[in-house]
Structure 1
Amino acid sequence: MPTVAFLLAPRLHLLDLAGPAQVFSGAADAGHHYTLRYVAERPDVPTAQGLTIHAGTEWPRLTPEDLVIVPGWRARRLVGSSGFGAATLRRLREHHEAGGTVASVCAGADALGRAGLLDGRRCTTHHQLQDELAARHPRARVVRDVLYVVDDGVATSAGIASGIDLALHLLATRHGPALAARVARAMVGYARRNGDEPQASAMLRHRSHLDDVVHRVQDLIDARFTERLPLAELAGSVGCGERTVTRLFTAATGITPLRYQQALRVERAEHLIGRGATVESAAHVVGFADARMLRRLRART
């Protein structure tokens, strides 16, 4: 049962904390049993929005499977704003050295920098703090105008709501994009992995809409993309006509249901081929009758 430990600083922004916490809580609701813990140097943590949070002062026992997230706090300048002591920064560093992932939202990147975790690594933070982060941690490679960056077990995100994007990305990396899409949908949010790289997942790339009928069709295709799925069966699953499903699906995603299924197949086949499978065997695994269609679709891509 992995733990997500949130390290809380005074004047933290509630959404910096609540966004990622909601993502991992949603994953737990979906059957991936994350335990959320909240740690601070003092038990009562005032937030920038006026609510005081009660946190534990004892760190949970962490393993390399666990995640530590440092939400950001209100600060016009980073210098002298976080107040984390040497012992806390050492805990961050030790968790990463043991193989664990350490992440931050917004100003939380400064805590990672003070722990030495940004040295030689790419990172980001809120656009208003990027210049100061680069000046305070000259060995860090600050990337501007992105939502998040992940580099060697150190994940940093930009301002406020981008913590949700980063948390969804971490969830997709650990459990696959289907779970991230499911959690994002439950949150009525976008499922996206557009940090500093192009979106690579068809499941996420075509889930950034709020059409419930189309999401239900996608749920069926996601679960059975290796099978033959006639349009009539997809339409029947949502109680609509075939032409209506095609029209709604294309309007919401930009492609037809068949193209979406093919994209999932090709994506899975590329994963298998990259790990040593032949084109022929990969085509068979993902549901193509032979390798010709897979080769044609890969060439088109």
Structure 2
Amino acid sequence: MSSDPHRIAILVYDGVKLLDVAGPADVFGEANRLGADYRITLLSTTGTEVASSIGVRTAVDGSPATEPDPDTFLVPGANIYPRTPVPRALIEATRGLAVRSGRVASICSGAFVLAATGLLDGRRATTHWKIAGELAARHPKIRVEPDAIYVRDGTTYTSAGVTAGIDLALALVEEDHGPDLSREVARALVVYLQRAGGQSQFSAPLQTPPPRSPVLRTVVDLVTADPTAGHSVAELARHLNVSPRHLTRLFREELSTTPARYIESVRFDIAKALLDQGHSATQAALLAGFPGYESLRRVFARELSISPAAYQRRFSTARRGG
């Protein structure tokens, strides 16, 4: 193993999200305390300080022109992306550093900066769940994986929102120094070494897309008002005075799904909200209209890759009375 330090360059710019910078940097700094040798350098396109998303001025060590070839190059995100175009100077600085780096990584909306250079074309990538669809729409050559915490494609890495940069940095430490050191860093920072499940578990409740059709909106109202009712296609069609075939066609044309699967997704959202309120998993399953806990567990495993109990431990905001 080389005795030379592992150089990490982080390219910052006006509007950069501070936690996208500090989170990964802290991981590498903690790894240094435990025996690693990372040299972290903050760079800006001009070599001058930048203003972060919260207004804090961030000093830098130089510009890409003054930086030796990095072993790892990180591009943090910002709230301004994807709302505004990536500036040409930032694109050029990113491309120049990327071609000189051993590996390249983005955090959150930093994926839009990498994408603007063309570096993600033909690759798998991810970003924050709220803007993953926009990344895929703007850059159709990228194979976007919207539920991933982070994605590695060769020597290119992309990660989801904000704290996922910590997950990614831990993975890079493990790649460099093995799981034992990475585990010790995670323990020291009191974070998960590897989070179970994907980004879906962190999205807001009741994310089922609302239908445009008045008929389908009525279906949602019926299920939400009484999720424990049967709500078969025949029953819903009779209530709405349409044929089962017509109702099924409406679901396929507008929502690209079946009535049964859509109703299950509404019940799933209701169950998540009930878990957030402090109901037990069994109670949430029954109140949301599932036959029992096992049915709810299977949907959680399919949609979030975690159990209802694990979801509740992480996200319930209910106060436990004594």
TM-score by length of 1: 0.60
> Could you give the per-residue CA deviations for residues 115-148 of structure 1, whole angstroms, max 9, x where no partner exists?
2211111000011211221122111100011211
Secondary structure class of the residue paired with 2:73: strand
- Distance (whole Å) between structure 2 residues aligned to residue 52 and residue 16 of structure 1: 15
Give yes or no for contact 2:86–2:113 (8 Å, CA) kept in 1: no
**Aligned pair partner of 2:54 in 49, 55, 60:** 49
Give yes or no for contact 1:147–1:194 (8 Å, CA) kept in 2: no
Shift of 1:86: 4.6
**Aligned pair partner of 1:62 in 44, 59, 69:** 69
Residue in 1 that maps onto 2:13: 9
Give yes or no for contact 2:125–2:158 (8 Å, CA) kept in 1: yes
- Distance (whole Å) between structure 2 residues aligned to residue 164 and residue 158 of structure 1: 10
- Distance (whole Å) between structure 2 residues aligned to residue 170 and residue 18 of structure 1: 16
Shift of 1:195: 7.9
Residue in 2 that maps onto 1:26: 30
Residue in 2 that maps onto 1:178: 180
> Could you give the per-residue CA deviations for residues 65-106 of structure 1, whole angstroms, max 9, x where no partner exists?
x1000111112634414564453133134125xxx1000101
Matching of residues 86-105 of structure 1 within 5 Å: 86-96=91-101, 100-105=102-107
Residue in 2 that maps onto 1:291: none
Secondary structure class of the residue paired with 2:105: strand
Residue in 1 that maps onto 2:76: 71
> Could you give the per-residue CA deviations for residues 23-42 of structure 1, whole angstroms, max 9, x where no partner exists?
00111111111100000013
Residue in 2 that maps onto 1:191: 193
Q: Which moved more, 1:185-194 or 1:151-160?
A: 185-194
Identity among equivalent pairs (%): 40
Please tell me whether Structure 1 or Structure 2 has the larger radius of gyration of its CA atoms: 2
Secondary structure class of the residue paired with 1:50: coil
Give yes or no for contact 1:13–1:73 (8 Å, CA) kept in 2: yes
Secondary structure class of the residue paired with 2:100: helix
Structure 1 stretches lacking a partner, 5+ long:
197-301
> Could you give the per-residue CA deviations for residues 140-180 of structure 1, whole angstroms, max 9, x where no partner exists?
10001121101011100000110000100111111111111
Matching of residues 212-231 of structure 1 within 5 Å: none
Give yes or no for contact 2:13–2:44 (8 Å, CA) kept in 1: yes
Q: How many correspondences in the alignment?
A: 191
Give yes or no for contact 1:92–1:115 (8 Å, CA) kept in 2: no
Structure 2 stretches lacking a partner, 5+ long:
199-322
Residue in 1 that maps onto 2:137: 135
Letter in 2 for 1:68: F
> Could you give the per-residue CA deviations for residues 189-246 of structure 1, whole angstroms, max 9, x where no partner exists?
11116587xxxxxxxxxxxxxxxxxxxxxxxxxxxxxxxxxxxxxxxxxxxxxxxxxx
RMSD (Å), alpha carbons: 1.9
Letter in 1 for 2:135: L
Residue in 2 that maps onto 1:148: 150
Residue in 2 that maps onto 1:117: 119
TM-score by length of 2: 0.56
Secondary structure class of the residue paired with 2:157: strand
